[in-house]
Amino acid sequence: MADKERRTRAFEEVLLQIERRIEDDGLRVGDRLPGERNLAEELQVSRSSVREALRVLETLGVVSSQAGRGPDAGAILTSRPDSALSDLLRLSLGMSSLSTREVIGTRLMIERWSAETAARRTGAAARPGSVTPIEMDALDAATRAMEAATRGMDAAESAAEFVRHDIAFHVAIAEASGNRLVAAVMRALRDAMRRHAIDAVERLGDTTALREDHRRIHAAILAGDAPAAVEAVSAHLAHAYPEHF
């Protein structure tokens, strides 16, 4: 439990530290934040946690990523975070108190739209705004990893590993929608999703139906079939959480 809480707090601590620096140090638009490595060392968190926090802040328009080394390293402050960052922090800190119904309702709303939009972007391949190879690679990788997670593990180990890749799959759909804020909200939901998803997998006792659902969602997005993608996502969540449908 302590390890899980520490992992959850790492991302939040980066955001809090940045907010604290802006307020306490009087940082202004155009000022540079510490580099990724310095922030990771200072906060004693992984560089991936710092990277994710900066990615969310860039999505919110708070910072602009800046490549470089030494004095040129670190993101540039492009606006004061104010309510946008505070709202995100409240969302992240309050995840543990969300009910299953709240999480599933939010997922249904976001994921139906994300799957539909991702499929439309796939159907518009080679046009401006179409789904990118990186986005599709993330979806493909999560699909393969879910299949691999069901082999060679005991039940408890398999459930946790399957859910890890299951969540990566659903976040990848949000990212493939091309809407960075939607993707940021899905990433913020991950810890709440994980808790409920593991319960669902353990209750079902088998991931066969869920894996088949994922294949249908994936196929519909690849085919650019927006209505089928929406239907597949709805059916998937209904299979996993029938008590809420």
Q: Domains of the chain: which residue ranges?
A: 2-92, 95-244
Output the pLDDT for position 167. 92
Q: Provide the 10 A C-beta neighbour count for residue 203.
A: 12
Name the residue with higher pLDDT: 61 or 162.
162
Q: CATH topology for 95-244?
A: Four Helix Bundle (Hemerythrin (Met), subunit A) (1.20.120)
pLDDT in tens, 230-242: 999 999 999 999 9
Phi, psi of 65 (to 5 degrees): -60, 145
Output the pLDDT for position 109. 95
Distance CA 228, CA 230 (A): 5
- Cross-strand bridge partners of residue 77: 63
pLDDT in tens, 165-176: 999 999 999 999
**Considering the chain, what percentage of its residues have pLDDT values greater than 70?**
78
Distance CA 35, CA 70 (A): 8
Position 128 confidence tier, pLDDT thresholds 50, 70, 90: low
pLDDT in tens, 19-54: 777 777 777 788 888 888 888 888 788 888 888 778
Distance CA 236, CA 187 (A): 19
Of the ranges 6-10, 94-98, 157-161, 180-184, the best mean pLDDT one: 180-184
Of the ranges 8-12, 21-25, 76-80, 89-93, the best mean pLDDT one: 76-80
Q: What average pLDDT does the structure give for the chain?
A: 80
| pLDDT exceeds cutoff 70 at 244 | yes
Stretch 107-127: mean pLDDT: 88
Is the torsion defined by CA of 75, 52, 14, 29 positive or negative?
positive
3-state class (DSSP) for residue 76: strand
Residue type, 3: D
Angle between helix axes 208-223 and 190-204 (nearest 10 degrees) is 130
Output the pLDDT for position 231. 97
Residue type, 42: E
Distance CA 216, CA 157 (A): 25
Q: What is the dihedral of CA 165, 133, 14, 164, to 10 degrees?
A: 0
Output the pLDDT for position 10. 66
Tokens of 28: 């202004």
Question: What is the C-alpha radius of gyration for the chain, rounded to an integer number of angstroms?
Answer: 19
Distance CA 149, CA 140 (A): 14
Position 68 confidence tier, pLDDT thresholds 50, 70, 90: low
Distance CA 60, CA 58 (A): 5
Which CATH class, in words, describes the domain spanning 2-92? mainly alpha
CA neighbor of 191 nearest in space, from 49, 14, 4, 2: 4
